[in-house]
Structure 1
Amino acid sequence: MKIHHLRSATFVIESGKHFILIDPMLGDQGTLPPFSVFRFKSAKNPTVDLPSNAQDLLAKVTHCLVTHSQTFGFKPLQHGDHLDSAGEAFLIKHSIPVTTLTKDKAYLEKYGMSVESGLEPWISTEFLGGNITAVPAQHGHGWIHKVMANGCGFFLELPNEPSIYISGDTVLTPDVECALSELKPDITVVATGQAQMDVGQPLLMSTNEAMEFIRLSPGKVIANHMEALNHCPVDRATLKRSLEAQNLLEKVSIPEDGESLTF
């Protein structure tokens, strides 16, 4: 298995002839509005372009997983950092089969995407000769998660490959802890940018939660969702310092945009 990190939460899993695109934010730098104006420096998103190898990888994509997209079915509230208009256009143009939560299936189909599977939490479903399981995600602490697109993470077991759990946009919850302790993934992917809006508590794990997630992970951890969105204050250097302080650095890969990891 290879993990090709593109940008923020967008990456590609390569397994044999399959190239699985995760949460396609594919637009050019600055094509989305700022996600924070007062709490952090206002800047249009994404704050960086896709890496130079992105188009070659995207040309090979065979499937797509979308952890979350819509809130209340209202297009202006779609989470563009996980599915933007360029991502939609790519999926539609190339007829890429999408897997997402059942609650998001009709919404994506309404806008022309081909949803192959709508998943129910904790129900294992056949996927590419193996299985995929949706793990509930809570997108934020306190009241703010009730107005966010609470989606899911994905646990994949592909033939002759290490198992992988993608946390999605979530704080540390009993469901997340259960996925780590019961499913025992060989690889975990965790969003560590600690995104915050101008109001409310963080939308992703705090540093302490991220450290606990890493401690609980049975195997190697990949950290993403950093340095591409203006509302994510934790960058790679900050995360590295936290990991060093907790003696966890050797357990974690922090890929640069465009970097590929082999497992």
Structure 2
Amino acid sequence: MEPEADSEHDATDSVIRLEGVGKTYGTVRALTGIDLSVQAGEVTCVLGDNGAGKSTLIKIMAGLHEHTSGTMLVSGKARKFGSPREAVEAGIATVYQDLALAPLMSVWRNFFLANEIRKGPLRLLDADRMKRITRDELAKMGIDLPDVDRPVGSLSGGQRQCVAIARAIYFGAKVLILDEPTAALGVKQSGVVLKYVARAAESGLGVVFITHNPHHAFLVGDHFVILKLGQMALDASRDEITVEQLTEQMAGGDELAELRHEMHEAD
């Protein structure tokens, strides 16, 4: 299936929009001609195997790498981030697979890491307020965790993902980029994380869900993009594709159909 123009959305209603974005590293072309629209309140799923270009795409939106061609629009303005801090200041939060959490520190300390609330002339930590906020924000995501003093490493994988997602939402993210959040989780914990992904979109964020699992993508996605060898192999909205078609495209698309035809002819 060839990439299709996104007729429903334009640059004026996209939180992030990539237009012909490419990235080269010397003579190596990692991305070519990427057109991608991220809408507030929607989950945009970016799928692809290892080496497809997903990591490079994340790094461009997260401010780790600058694109070398095309245009990236953030809230309608052309941007080229020079650092992750610039991306965060523009409202783009990225949750990587390692989560950037300190396992031995408490849940509330992780929640406010580098953003601590202080009080009084001595600028002491306002622990009670931070604990209360942490509990309230996790409750909004459906996690009832009265004991936020426990080490974050004692939480389940799904709960740790929830802490990272809730933290990003609380600190003003407009776009939440999730890098393979279900890759290392079992079926039950994956379901928990997918619920949080949906809730993040329901709260009004534009969510970019990076995954290699078409079934997980289809459970929460509104828009689907498949990358292959740094190029877009699919660009479709939810009403334009089924989970079976999405899975087939991930498995090889036209190449798979051609192989089936050859096998049928051989029979």
Q: What TM-score comes out, normalization by structure 1 length?
A: 0.32
Higher helix share: 2
Q: Which has the larger radius of gyration?
A: 2
Higher relative contact order (CA 8 A, sep 6+): 2
Q: What TM-score comes out, normalization by structure 2 length?
A: 0.32
